[in-house]
């Protein structure tokens, strides 16, 4: 019980330290850009003050950017990411599970996945634009290509990492192959799958931004890139912060789902 309490105390302390470090960064930003001591240290062109950025944010919410509302830019970005993520998830995870269960399937699918895994997928974007044009398809494909190896290989490794004793126990209890997969191997693989989901959210957002920097007319990264052409530093920073927030919130959601679904993860019993 005391161990539980001390972890709680440690968690509380960590939260205060997190908050403190965040406030310190904000304070530094403020000090670098304030005019209180006779002119800002850094010119607003390079780094506008937090207040100016907040102002810009409110203006963007009210007026939108280049004829489209801010919500639209955020929405289209989330749509691209969400669609690519869900499509990849529902293909890659079952395929990975299958590879983990079946040596022949692994022998067939492992080489193409392993060979293309180290390739930086963003390098394929010019080719994808020739193939699919500059619409939504090329963006979704590039994100899917980046996430596919992570999700499929992790699912495969999660299956192969399931304790032999748990499978033997299920066999001795009279479970069929399907029951063993459904009630033992699949749930036992979930913690590994969730870890890869969280990794792929980070990577997916990165790929989204990469794809939106090139040849689009909407999206939150497009907004930042296009504002940069006009030296609208305020807008660029709003865009960057929104992208950071999106990444952070998506991870938060994934972690909440993970804690709910695999509350037993990492705890042996």
Partner 1 sequence: MTVLASTAKARFEGVSKRFGSGDDAVQALEPLTLDLAENAFLCLVGPSGCGKSTLLNILAGFETPTTGRVLMDGVPVTGPDPKRGVVFQQGALFTWMNVAENVAFGPRATGKSAAEAARIATHYIEMVGLTTFARRYPYELSGGMQQRVGIARALANDPEILLMDEPFAALDAQTRELLQEEIKRIWQETRKTVLWITHSIEEALFLATEVVVMSARPGRIKARLLPQFALSADPAVVTSAEFVRMKADIFGLLREEALAAQKQEQAR
Q: Under the rule (CB under 8 A), what is the footprint of partner 1?
A: 163, 165-166, 168-176, 179, 183-184, 187-188, 190, 262-264, 267-269
**Would you call 47 exposed, middle or buried from its count of C-beta atoms within 10 A (0-12, 13-18, 19+)?**
middle
CB closer to partner 1 out of 45 and 172: 172
Shorter beta-carbon distance to partner 1: residue 126 or 161: 161
Residue 211 neighbours by CB distance under 10 Å: 31
How many residues comprise the chain? 269
> Between 46 and 264, whose beta carbon lies closer to partner 1?
264
What does the block give as tokens for 173? 């209890």
User: To the nearest whole angstrom, how small is the minimum distance from the Cβ of residue 105 to partner 1?
Assistant: 23
**What's the Cα-to-Cα distance from 93 to each of 55, 145, 170, 184, rounded to whole Å?**
44, 14, 23, 16
Q: Given the complex with partner 1, which of 229 and 268 has the nearer CB atom?
A: 268
To partner 1, the closest distance from the beta carbon of 94 in angstroms equals 19
- Give the separation between CA 234 and CA 46, rounded to whole angstroms: 9
Strand partners for 65: 68
Tell me how far, at minimum, the Cβ of 106 lies from partner 1, in Å.
Answer: 23
Using only C-alpha atoms, what is the Rg of the chain?
23
For residue 183, the minimal CB distance to partner 1 (Å) is 7
Rounded CA-CA distance 128/82 in Å is 19
Q: Which residue has the tokens 């290509």?
A: 145
On the 0-12 / 13-18 / 19+ scale of CB atoms within 10 A, 240 is: middle
| CA distances for 190 relative to 92, 145, 206, angstroms | 14, 22, 24
Nearer to partner 1, 62 or 165 (CB): 165
No. of helices (H) and no. of strands (E), the chain: 11, 0
Q: C-beta of 10: minimal distance to partner 1 in Å?
A: 19
* Closer of 227 and 262 to partner 1 (Cβ): 262
Is the Cβ of residue 248 or residue 264 nearer to partner 1 in the bound state?
A: 264
CB 228 to partner 1: min, Å: 48
CB of 176 to partner 1, least distance (A): 7
């Amino acid at each position: 019980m005391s161990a539980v309490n001390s972890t709680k105390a440690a968690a509380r302390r960590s939260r205060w330290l997190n908050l403190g470090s965040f406030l310190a960064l904000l304070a530094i930003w403020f000090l670098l850009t304030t005019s209180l001591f006779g002119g800002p240290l850094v010119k607003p062109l390079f780094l506008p003050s937090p207040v100016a950025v907040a102002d810009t944010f409110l203006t963007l919410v009210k007026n939108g950017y280049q004829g489209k509302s801010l919500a639209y830019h955020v929405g289209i970005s989330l749509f691209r990411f969400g669609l690519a993520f869900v499509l990849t998830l529902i293909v890659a995870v079952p395929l990975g599970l299958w590879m983990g269960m079946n040596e022949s399937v692994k022998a067939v699918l492992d080489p193409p996945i392993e060979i293309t895994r180290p390739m930086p997928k963003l390098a394929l974007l010019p080719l994808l634009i020739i193939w699919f044009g500059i619409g939504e398809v090329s963006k979704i494909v590039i994100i899917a290509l980046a996430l596919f190896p992570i999700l499929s290989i992790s699912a495969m490794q999660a299956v192969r990492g399931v304790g032999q004793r748990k499978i033997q126990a299920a066999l001795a209890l009279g479970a069929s192959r399907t029951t063993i997969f459904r009630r033992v191997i699949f749930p036992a693989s979930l913690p590994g799958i969730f870890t890869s989901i969280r990794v792929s959210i980070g990577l997916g957002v990165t790929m989204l931004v990469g794809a939106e920097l090139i040849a689009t007319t909407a999206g939150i990264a497009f907004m930042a890139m296009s504002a940069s052409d006009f030296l609208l530093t305020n807008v660029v920073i709003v865009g960057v912060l929104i992208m950071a927030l999106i990444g952070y919130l998506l991870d938060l959601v994934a972690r909440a789902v993970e804690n709910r679904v695999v509350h037993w993860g990492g705890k042996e019993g």
